[in-house]
Structure 1
Amino acid sequence: MTLTPRLWAPLPDRVDLVLPGDGTRTPMHRQEDGWWVADAALPHGTDYAFSLDGGPARPDPRAAWLPEGVHGPARVFDADRFAWTDGGWSGVDVRGAVTYELHVGTFTPQGTLRSAIERLEHLVQLGVDVVELMPVAAFNGRHGWGYDGVAPYAVHEPYGGPQALQEFVDAAHGLGLAVCLDVVHNHLGPSGNYLHELGPYFTDAHHTPWGSAVNLDGPGSEHVRRWICDSVLRWARDFHVDAFRLDAVHELRDDSPRHVLAQLSDEVGELALALGRPIGLVAETDLNDVVSLATTQDGGWGMTAQWADDVHHAVHALVTGERHGYYVDFGTPEVLRKALTRVFVHDGGISTFRGEPWGAPVPDDVDGHGFVVFGANHDQVGNRALGDRPGARLDPGGQAAQAALVLLSPFSPLLFMGEEWGATTPWQFFTDHPEPELAQAVRAGRTREFGGHGWVELYGGPVDVPDPQDPATFEASVLDWSEPAQPGHARLLEWYRVLIALRRAVPDLASGDRHLTALDIHDAPAPTEAPGWQGVLVLHRGDARVVVNLGHSPAAVPVPVAGPVRVVAAWDGGVLHPPAGPDAPVVVDVPARSVVVLA
């Protein structure tokens, strides 16, 4: 396959194709609607770039391969050269699946896609269904979270480049794992973004936290929308990616009659039919509104699922006792009950943190599997002042309880890498901006951000925020793969495996039917000064029961059941006593800081 270079650039009066290999510059031909086409057929491995009005060479905004970084020339990548072995792969529906979020650069010491392949068997043994890669789009520098990418068609070269992603997906499919790619369409990073030189990729009609919004509804927006949709279709078609996590879709400001996500959903649906496998679209949205899940025919966006932060906040605040910042409206068992049954805690009432009414109720007929929930993720860990994981503040019993409430909920659970063994390594905010002024701006912004939000009170004093530009900050965030074999970590890892296996073995625990979910609350008789709520919870999941003792004393818990049950999992032991009479509940002796599952 060869590439005929094309570029949408309505702003310049002249565009030249630049071939760095021989130094030639060849004028391109202007087409309709601001497109330029070159009289060239470039083979795989050829470097090329574009010059606008005689200016410096710029990379292709649809570049598949940027071996010299985001400021260098593109290189032609023939995706058809790869010899796939996944011909029998039929895909995975992300709804109800267990997803595992990982960051390629810190998942292994080598920080590459190829080294990550060597750890896929760990995920298989854990029981994971979907591997979610944090953004792999090319960004400036070597290390970063990936949300400041500027080349959404390219794979970051330090991760291994585009062929390494094909190898990763093929290996995952061979082990029965689907691959979800985290993609960012709401903004581009500050370094290497040349789109403003080409055309109206951005608009001042809308603004986002990053500045001018991506142009989705103004003049020329049809080409910008095409640039976004084509990138997703290409990842699914040429790289066999199974699903996409769409970053902060509430910042895709689109007042057109057809939202760009509805367009994307319809086009992805057509491709899925052609490929004969599902392609999931999972929206991260802060709106607390199921417009994202409604079909495009009903005026919605047609997403497969959406993240539900309120469930995380309800679990985290209850177990840890944290109430600072956006946790202010969370932390009680009643709030947890609402989150586990109605999904959104803020469903039209006042959000104290936002200072205004927020959200809308979830209709009763919306299945729980449409919501992705978690006890930790990259944001909830990395955007803490010290990047400390829940395990840094929770005892093993608290970690076991949090895992049970998430994994045995009626939702689609997501794990953050290392969570399953209680990793002690932090996951901090790290960057590698070569530009000194940008590096200093990031340092100052990070320090300013953590001057409030209750961090001083939480950590018991002033917070020494890690320098994002210090290589030690990145290095501290790399997982320690010796930990899973250590006794305490191995025990937690086995607990996660047991809980995930129960989702497959017990239909009621696998169900997304929220009507079969309820939460009983038993207060602790004598709370201690330890953080977090300390009573007993009984989570009803159909005929299954999850009994969580967050107190620091053993508890004899009456549990109403509809028929015979037995203990199918216990964190620290537990004794089940039969009912005293025909209508009496069973009684479960639950040790302090422990969990017992009945089914």
Structure 2
Amino acid sequence: MRIGAHYLGNGTCEFVVWAPFLKSVAVKLISPDERLLPMKKDEKGYWKACVEDVYPGACYFYQLGEKTDRPDPASYFQPAGVHQYSQVVEFDSFKWKDSKWKGIELSQLIIYELHVGTFTPQGTFDAILPRLNSLKELGVNAIELMPVAQFPGERNWGYDGAYLFAVQNLYGGPEGLMRLVNECHKHGISVILDVVYNHLGPEGNYLAEYGPYFTDKYHTPWGKAINFDDAYSDEVRSFFLQNALFWFENYHIDALRLDAIHGIYDMGAKHILEELKEKTAELSVQKKKTYYLIAESNLNDTKITRIKETGGYGIDSQWCDDLHHSLHTLLTGEITGYYCDFGETKHLVKSLGEGFAYSGEYSPFRKRRHGNSSKNCPPSQFVVFSQNHDQIGNRMLGERLSTLVSFEALKLAAGVILLSPYIPLLFMGEEYGEEAPFLYFVSHSDVPLIEAVRRGRKHEFHDFQWQGEPPDPQDSETFLTSKLNWGKKRQGHHKVLLDFYKHLIHLRKTIPAFANQDKNKLSVYGLEDEKVVFLQRGEGVDNSFTVFNFSDSEVSVKLPLQENHWKKLVDSSDEMWDGPGSLLTEKTGQFNQITLRKHSFITFIKE
């Protein structure tokens, strides 16, 4: 049953909502005129009413049990926030101009993650549009939007969404998102949307008043677990499956990033993620365009991306935290919290070569073995990054890498991510070394909830042994401090770093050795004492060799490049990149031994 308020044209709207235990449900229209219209219930618990003289823009509640007015749980727009009326939306009236757009193949993605509210001073979808040319010039071909489902108040990361079908009103609502996607496709940029299917936000979430959407069988750190496998779960599953397809069909979204799927609990014979992949694949065939699913997971489990025939869910790709943690600990020396599992070059070597650094080994942080082998997974099944919203925003002070390490180390981090065989993701502002923090911020109206959020944030930082008081998530200044300072990208080191990112992305796109997705043509090894990692990609004439130095001092190493002539492609310590100057002397094109500056890398290709 298709849920929500569907405008059928000619002033007719069909309202459908699932509420299996209620004795009565009615549509309560409040504008442009007031009417109360009873709904009829079917055998599965769906209430339905087909109402005339209702047009797009009409506002309504559902009246539950003849006394309680609540917004539509499948509302397409909440113009006055999470506690107020829902609004009828007509999707067919938007003039799309992307009929020839077929998306970008998964392995070719270069993703740019952004938060709509802090990406620009205005914090809207429309304010992003003038920035698309800059993103195109940078070389990224996909933007990933942090969740835009309606959340409470004026500011939020988006993971407290209470209406999963409704586009955040302060960002520009449904038309604002459609305009953004339309323009992105015009610029050759795919759009990935972050969606949350493991919980709903605590404020404005009235789902439990409609039916058994939640279960006490499982618990999540963020709220009640969704009922994907208990009694009445068929219709709950349908709600979330419809939501995923809704973004593809109505907003032309190219891929969904599934938040924290380790918080999605389903012990049924067919996991909800497997079913979601099936529905997505069916839609891809129907629309003759491939839609992708990318999971965030801390399970280190290849079952997520393995195809159905081998017992997997078939999700197209997943975030790889292990590579981030391996890289971060080598650059910063931090070994508290979950970073205690990392800190040696062997972790980065394994992650660069396979994906997961932990594939069944004992994890000191978890006090148990963790993960399974990803050696046979193609590189397109992993998204890698040196920074993202979680790894920055879940620090007590929200520090970006640019405030934790040197300029040379920032270039080193960029080299690892952009020259790796995996799908790279940049976090907004990373490309020019933005120094503003990205902090956790909310705008709740319930005082006990505000205090609970404050306590919860402090508790999260316990394992990391950070000292002091975290910024108040409820304070508007915490949000304003997190906005990007775009003017910096034209200044000093910031401009050089931006040019460096552009150069690496250009090389990734144009050098055949970097386009090779075959792990059999990938070799990674390291020198633990010297803190050096070697990465070789490709074969024959299409061959590259990169040396990464994570040491705090200069290092001399022997290279296995005697047989053929090689050409230096990049040296991050070159003066042209505001470095201290390269120590590499090129005589015959045959490199036996080289010396690298501290926190630098050199890439060679065959001549």
**Does residue 401 of the first structure (1) align with residue 412 of the second (2)?**
yes
Q: Secondary structure at 1:563's aligned position in 2?
A: coil
Partner of 2:272: 260
- Aligned pairs for 1:118-197 (under 5 A) are 118-197=130-209
Which has the larger displacement, 229-238 or 560-569?
560-569
**2:473 aligned to which of 463, 468, 471:** 468
Question: C-alpha offsets along residues 353-410 of structure 1, whole Å, 9 cap, x if unaligned?
Answer: 1111111112x43211210111000000000010001111110110111111111111
Q: Which amino acid aligns with 1:566?
A: K
**Does residue 344 of the first structure (1) align with residue 345 of the second (2)?**
no
**Does residue 360 of the first structure (1) align with residue 366 of the second (2)?**
no
Q: Are 1:310 and 1:344, in contact at CA under 8 Å, matched by a contact in 2?
A: yes
**2:25 aligned to which of 15, 23, 26:** 15
Evaluate the alpha carbon distance shift between residue 402 and residue 182 of structure 1 in structure 2; reply closer, same or farther with a 3 A threshold. same
**Does residue 198 of the first structure (1) align with residue 200 of the second (2)?**
no
State the distance in 2 between where 1:564 and 1:165 align: 51
**Does residue 382 of the first structure (1) align with residue 393 of the second (2)?**
yes
- Give the drift of 1:513: 2.4
Evaluate the alpha carbon distance shift between residue 522 and residue 218 of structure 1 in structure 2; reply closer, same or farther with a 3 A threshold. closer
Question: C-alpha offsets along residues 170-215 of structure 1, whole Å, 9 cap, x if unaligned?
Answer: 0000000000000001100001111111111111222222343211
**Does residue 595 of the first structure (1) align with residue 566 of the second (2)?**
no
Q: Are 1:566 and 1:576, in contact at CA under 8 Å, matched by a contact in 2?
A: no
**Does residue 287 of the first structure (1) align with residue 299 of the second (2)?**
yes
Q: Which amino acid aligns with 1:142?
A: E
- Give the drift of 1:238: 1.1
Partner of 1:501: 506
Q: Are 2:111 and 2:144, in contact at CA under 8 Å, matched by a contact in 1?
A: yes
Partner of 2:92: 80
- Give the drift of 1:338: 1.2
Q: Are 1:145 and 1:430, in contact at CA under 8 Å, matched by a contact in 2?
A: yes
State the distance in 2 between where 1:195 and 1:183 align: 17
State the distance in 2 between where 1:577 and 1:353 align: 45
TM-score, with structure 1 as normaliser: 0.94
- Give the drift of 1:319: 1.2
**Does residue 27 of the first structure (1) align with residue 38 of the second (2)?**
yes
State the distance in 1 between where 2:553 and 2:161 align: 50
State the distance in 1 between where 2:501 and 2:350 align: 25
**Does residue 410 of the first structure (1) align with residue 406 of the second (2)?**
no
**Does residue 550 of the first structure (1) align with residue 562 of the second (2)?**
no
Q: Are 2:344 and 2:528, in contact at CA under 8 Å, matched by a contact in 1?
A: no
Question: C-alpha offsets along residues 461-509 of structure 1, whole Å, 9 cap, x if unaligned?
Answer: x322100011110000000001100111011111111111111111221
Partner of 1:531: none
- Give the drift of 1:522: 4.3
Q: Secondary structure at 1:4's aligned position in 2?
A: strand
Partner of 2:537: 541
Q: Secondary structure at 2:391's aligned position in 1?
A: helix
Q: Secondary structure at 1:413's aligned position in 2?
A: strand
- Give the drift of 1:572: 2.1
Q: Which amino acid aligns with 1:446?
A: R
Which ranges of structure 1 fall in alignment gaps of 5 or more residues? 457-461, 525-533
Partner of 2:579: none
Evaluate the alpha carbon distance shift between residue 356 and residue 523 of structure 1 in structure 2; reply closer, same or farther with a 3 A threshold. closer
Q: Which amino acid aligns with 2:573?
A: D
Partner of 2:566: 565
Q: Which amino acid aligns with 1:518?
A: S
Partner of 1:270: 282
- Give the drift of 1:570: 2.2
Identity among equivalent pairs (%) = 39
Partner of 1:222: 234
Question: C-alpha offsets along residues 58-93 of structure 1, whole Å, 9 cap, x if unaligned?
Answer: 111111111011111111111111101112211112
- Aligned pairs for 1:83-98 (under 5 A) are 83-98=95-110
Question: C-alpha offsets along residues 330-368 of structure 1, whole Å, 9 cap, x if unaligned?
Answer: 111111111111221221121111111111112x43211
Which has the larger displacement, 16-25 or 468-477?
16-25
State the distance in 2 between where 1:390 and 1:212 align: 33
State the distance in 2 between where 1:371 and 1:511 align: 15
State the distance in 1 between where 2:231 and 2:532 align: 58
Q: Are 2:228 and 2:234, in contact at CA under 8 Å, matched by a contact in 1?
A: yes
Give the superposed CA RMSD. Answer: 1.7
State the distance in 1 between where 2:319 and 2:552 align: 32
Q: Are 2:532 and 2:550, in contact at CA under 8 Å, matched by a contact in 1?
A: yes
Q: Are 2:360 and 2:370, in contact at CA under 8 Å, matched by a contact in 1?
A: yes
Partner of 1:240: 252
State the distance in 1 between where 2:555 and 2:354 align: 28
TM-score, with structure 2 as normaliser: 0.93
- Give the drift of 1:301: 0.9
Evaluate the alpha carbon distance shift between residue 592 and residue 365 of structure 1 in structure 2; reply closer, same or farther with a 3 A threshold. closer
Evaluate the alpha carbon distance shift between residue 205 and residue 555 of structure 1 in structure 2; reply closer, same or farther with a 3 A threshold. closer
Q: Are 1:109 and 1:478, in contact at CA under 8 Å, matched by a contact in 2?
A: yes
Q: Are 2:573 and 2:601, in contact at CA under 8 Å, matched by a contact in 1?
A: yes
State the distance in 2 between where 1:144 and 1:247 align: 15
**Does residue 483 of the first structure (1) align with residue 488 of the second (2)?**
yes
Evaluate the alpha carbon distance shift between residue 523 and residue 263 of structure 1 in structure 2; reply closer, same or farther with a 3 A threshold. closer
Q: Are 2:318 and 2:382, in contact at CA under 8 Å, matched by a contact in 1?
A: yes
Q: Secondary structure at 2:107's aligned position in 1?
A: coil
Partner of 1:320: 332
Q: Secondary structure at 2:106's aligned position in 1?
A: coil
**1:441 aligned to which of 452, 473, 490:** 452
Q: Are 2:199 and 2:222, in contact at CA under 8 Å, matched by a contact in 1?
A: yes
Figure out how many residues of one structure are paired with residues of the other and give that number: 580
Question: C-alpha offsets along residues 499-536 of structure 1, whole Å, 9 cap, x if unaligned?
Answer: 11111111221223233333343467xxxxxxxxx743
Partner of 2:430: 419
Q: Are 1:11 and 1:197, in contact at CA under 8 Å, matched by a contact in 2?
A: no
Which has the larger displacement, 381-390 or 214-223?
214-223
Q: Are 1:579 and 1:586, in contact at CA under 8 Å, matched by a contact in 2?
A: no
Which has the larger displacement, 113-122 or 36-45?
36-45
